Structure 1
């Protein structure tokens, strides 16, 4: 269940939000949305792949696991990476758009909300804390990232740069897992692009994130090794 409310310093003056990590806070997720401007930070730890939505469009995601509900970076209360995607950092906050700008919303039913040891959102005088200011910046970057992603995906499709892929993980004859339903950058087609196409991608700031997405696939091996370590002994 969710209970979204516009955040304000009267009703939510004493509200605190936990920044701890753990499955109990909803961190047991297989992937999270990302966007081109974030690829440089994301590719340092996670594979970046492209997921098809219900409307047939694509969205980039950082991959944390090989099956639903699995985060191989989550070890109890520890997230084993120095960077966590902004779409995860922003929980339990959302951005709402109005005619005059953005509003910060909060999901009051989220497990992070109401923890007495969590981060305060407002000072005694009603002003936002540094934590809330950070969240506002995160939401702003996410909103801009969602908008830039649409043009980026259209550029990839224009040049036929997305291809589906499958990853098989096998321990023995009775135990295996298969990752399906995702797309990656087709490196052969990328390398075959002519100068005009490469210049077009570069001028639109689409070339660098594309190479970042390609580089991130080196972490698929790391993901499989994490999977093996977690499940090899049952």
Structure 2
């Protein structure tokens, strides 16, 4: 099961926002399965790790097409399951950027510049319900400003995330995750293709490689990934909401 930044959006009806064309669009706020949030995996950036590892198990997932790794929060045991979502409420203090930025994404204009785009097929998009994106004069509203801020945060995190993952790969610290018995209620964890930090390999690091990882902050990140596995019990059906 791949975990990528395009998960949860349709690719057939993406449009760059234009006040002339999209002035009437509104965005439904809130959370819930109706907005596609009942997913077992959600992409993360390295900049989110400090907040995310307190709430979720975090793993690496390899893109089968490119062979590249990405960071993902594990939210559920199988497709259609998000243990951290109850009705219209997340049972966590932190909600990943990937969830909060939808239905917006960054698209590239013909001249090579980035632009805010929108998935017009998203259940968040409406003509008569929710927050407006543009006012009567065609100026962006607070809702559009929030969307831009989230997209900027994701873009700014792209390079640190790639650097962190590259460091783990080069240090040979990534291995397939061992998750037998991960759920305390004995239910099967039907999410394949997860990778974790190899604790033995990490403990064996010495010399220049260890110093490089520590100096770049990647050693701390590796330990955060390991520590996040303590949240696997939260995927169990007997876990109680806060």
- Per the normalisation by structure 2, the TM-score is 0.85
Distance between the aligned counterparts of 1:90 and 1:147, measured in 2?
19
Higher mean C-alpha displacement, 105-114 vs 121-130: 121-130
Distance between the aligned counterparts of 1:17 and 1:162, measured in 2?
40
Deviations 1:98-117 (A, max 9, x none): 44532000011110000633
Q: Answer 1 or 2: which has greater strand percent.
A: 1
Work out whether residues 18 and 115 of structure 1, in 8 Å CA contact, stay in contact via their aligned partners in 2.
Answer: no
Q: Could you tell me which residue of structure 2 aligns to residue 126 of structure 1?
A: 138
Shift of 1:187: 1.8
Distance between the aligned counterparts of 1:195 and 1:40, measured in 2?
26
> Which one of 125, 130, 136 corresponds to residue 148 of structure 2?
136
> Which one of 115, 129, 132 corresponds to residue 117 of structure 1?
129
Q: How many residues align?
A: 225
Q: Secondary structure at the match of 1:72?
A: coil
Q: Could you tell me which residue of structure 1 aligns to residue 180 of structure 2?
A: 167
User: Aligned Cα RMSD in Å?
Assistant: 2.1
Q: Could you tell me which residue of structure 2 aligns to residue 84 of structure 1?
A: 95
After TM superposition, list the pairs within 5 Å mapping 1:138-217 onto structure 2.
138-165=150-177, 166-168=179-181, 169=183, 171=185, 176-179=187-190, 180-217=192-229
> Which one of 47, 59, 69 corresponds to residue 49 of structure 1?
59
Structure 2 residues without counterparts, runs of 5 or longer = 1-9
Shift of 1:4: 0.6
Deviations 1:87-143 (A, max 9, x none): 111111110134453200001111000063312112233222222112112112212
Q: Secondary structure at the match of 2:147?
A: helix
Work out whether residues 233 and 239 of structure 2, in 8 Å CA contact, stay in contact via their aligned partners in 1.
Answer: no
Work out whether residues 21 and 27 of structure 1, in 8 Å CA contact, stay in contact via their aligned partners in 2.
Answer: yes
Deviations 1:40-86 (A, max 9, x none): 11112111101111132211101110111211111111111121100
> Which one of 64, 72, 76 corresponds to residue 75 of structure 2?
64
Distance between the aligned counterparts of 1:33 and 1:221, measured in 2?
20
Q: Could you tell me which residue of structure 2 aligns to residue 73 of structure 1?
A: 84
Cα–Cα, structure 1 residues 212 and 11, in superposed 2: closer, same or farther, change >3 Å? Answer: same
Distance between the aligned counterparts of 1:100 and 1:122, measured in 2?
24
